[in-house]
Structure 1
Amino acid sequence: MKAPNAYSADCPTRQILDRVGDKWAVLILLLLREDPMRFNRLRRTIEGISQKMLSQVLKSLERDGLVRRRAIATVPVTVEYSITPLGVTLAKAVDPLRDWAECHLKEVLAAQRRYDGQTKAAA
């Protein structure tokens, strides 16, 4: 069997990498790994995400088998989201990236300031 070409637009590997590269998806998975949450709690916790974007990302994560949606028979209906075992494996794979970001934040910010200063000086 031929190895997938991640550089091809229709490659399944690339589609999964796109999910990992989605900041909202990663933040949702990391939160749900802590506890199941209702939609509005997720929206309040993740600053900057719109209701529409949260809904879209949750549907994509559910479709990918990374998140489970559970409707609870209340009035109005309560919906709770939880991470699946497959989602946990992805969240664990993302942890080293988050650790790297936290460890190297000062260096990246310093590089951005240097770059921005050079760009202004050249203009």
Structure 2
Amino acid sequence: MPEPILTAVATALATKAATGLYDLVKRKFSGDKKAVATLEAATPEKPETVQALAERLDAASLSDSSFAAALRAEFEVHQDARGGGVTNHVGTVAEGAKVVQTRDVHGNISF
């Protein structure tokens, strides 16, 4: 039986609204066609598909502690964003590149 947090993660994934979370899981599942199919089939209208996804997440988390940590961290970001907070995720930035993190911009931004 998956941990309750994994069921919550699976539910968030099933809504397809948690883009960063969805991308993380899709990358993890990329070598397993059945796992990808489980991810893509999950929908809140069919609780059994959410449960199947939670079970896949549980198995993946148990076998890969780095993935488990990343999954929980990304889920926290998703939860914070749903609460109206500001969430920024900046991946690797090339040397000399420019990045801006902001919430509300009224006007232009230029570098």
Q: When the two structures are superposed, what TM-score results if normalisation uses the length of structure 1? A: 0.26
Q: Which has the larger radius of gyration?
A: 1
Larger relative contact order (Cα-Cα within 8 Å, sequence gap ≥ 6): 2
Q: When the two structures are superposed, what TM-score results if normalisation uses the length of structure 2? A: 0.28
More helix by share: 1
